[in-house]
Structure 1
Amino acid sequence: MVQTIRDANLPLPGTHVRILKAVCYVQACTARRIAQRMRRDKAQITRVLNDLLEAGLISKACNPADKRSHLLHPTPAGEAMMQRIQELEQQTLTRMTCDLTQAEVEHFIRIAWHMTQNLEGDLPPDS
């Protein structure tokens, strides 16, 4: 996916793409929620959010549930960028799965999901 984004001359690094996705898809999105979800330092997330704000891809509004934070939303330009990213992801997915059956793709997804869950849990190393 990184190579596809690079080849398409998309003006965003990978971290910016992931954070823009969060702003587009996470309900009641805040910098803190993104930091928790991505398991990153909030200061790092804030720097990227500031880049996205400056680029006009996202906007922020006061959070009525917590006056200390802001709700983040994609701008029309951010939504257009997200549409382009989705198109690139679909192209990559098509290339990745071109010689696989639907059953093989579904099996891979199940295994990858389980592997991810293993990393999320507090399993001992020898489990």
Structure 2
Amino acid sequence: MSYSVNETLHQLIHAYKKQLRISIQEQRIDLPVNHIRVLKGICKYPQSTARSIALKMNQDKAQITRVLNELVQSKLIKKTDNPNDRRSQFLAPTASGKKILEKVHNLETEVIAVMTHNLSEKELKAFAHIASVMIENLTKHPTSD
């Protein structure tokens, strides 16, 4: 049974990510997935810092800093001084960054519509509930490395 869940979950994630990547490429959005995730985090959490984004994404701060520098160079985010801590800066999306994320959001909505075609509202609610329980199980009781 667990192999079936494992394989199904793996195939679902792979198929979703692949379709999303194809859609992003078709729209000529020239950003790696990690850059998009960081940009989303900055939009979702106002007054984010490099450290807070690294913690929320569970990634190395140096790696996040490289992504942030590239997003600044691409004029998708801007940094402003943090008046509470001179060692950090607040991150915010630029108008261009918000426009890119709006395109990505629309693409995600389209991919999800295709993925969930022929599923009832009841089935989608059941899936969301089951996935939430699984996430909570893994979050509260992580396996040891």
Task: State the TM-score, normalizing by the size of structure 2.
Answer: 0.80
Q: 1:101 to 1:41 in 2, by over 3 A?
A: same
One-letter code aligned to 1:61: T
Aligned counterpart in structure 1 of residue 79 of structure 2, from 42, 46, 60: 60
Offset at 1:9? Answer: 2.4
Task: State the TM-score, normalizing by the size of structure 1.
Answer: 0.91
Matched residues, number = 125
Aligned-pair identity (%)? 39
Q: 1:117 to 1:2 in 2, by over 3 A?
A: farther
Structure 1: 5+ residue stretches without partners: none
One-letter code aligned to 1:102: E
Aligned counterpart in structure 2 of residue 117 of structure 1, from 127, 136, 140: 136
RMSD value, Cα: 1.5
Task: Tell me which residue corresponds to 1:32.
Answer: 51
Summarize deviations over 1:17-47 as a string: whole Å, max 9, x none.
1000011111321111111111100000000
- Name the CA distance, whole Å, in 2 between partners of 1:36 and 1:93: 27
Offset at 1:123? Answer: 4.6
Summarize deviations over 1:51-77 as a string: whole Å, max 9, x none.
100000000001122221110000010
SS in 2 for 1:60: strand
Which of the two has greater helix per residue?
A: 2
- Name the CA distance, whole Å, in 1 between partners of 2:138 and 2:74: 34
Task: Tell me which residue corresponds to 2:103.
Answer: 84
